[in-house]
Structure 1
């Protein structure tokens, strides 16, 4: 007999009406001004059920999908406003427009430095210091 693991069952499950209501409310900025308890009440479930739903991967993905849909719906208006500010002379807005179009890119140059590790013992280093002191003393004479 074939059995599915719980993640596969969750993935296949259709969202109930109550779950869809919760997804809509949870995808709003600041949860539409509601607490989790209020959202649970609106959806007709208890808060523990809502918290369990929120732990499910597909439920989280659906919330993210709805958030992205909302952002995409507003993106054209945001770009129009940004372009208008750039045309009015705002350098920051012009930079943002050019970067969003891929015309202007930030350059980050990272210079790697290597530090040589010294594996000598303290005694070996002290001997070398004493030897250097003797050689310096010869020059002073």
Structure 2
């Protein structure tokens, strides 16, 4: 049987998921739920409770997500904040940690031709560096 939250846990999640906990302290929320603050802390350590809490936060804040993403871009540009730029790009799907590389080797790689190509590129780079000095 699937685990379910008690009515006290559901009420606690409603309060905890509010911005700044709805202006309540842990102790006040615990009292509203009819439990001790220690019980509330133990619930927060429970994986099932925590997953439900995170779902409530996402559900309650999903309407604000576009403004959040916009503010990340603004902060990144205004402050030159690389971490914010990275986060904004990750959220938009333009930057991922996963890199997929597909190779198609027919078995006939001409190593000497590759070496010549690399040497030509190095020479071109050296020439460009000299001309810009």
Q: TM-score, normalised by structure 1?
A: 0.47
Q: TM-score, normalised by structure 2?
A: 0.49
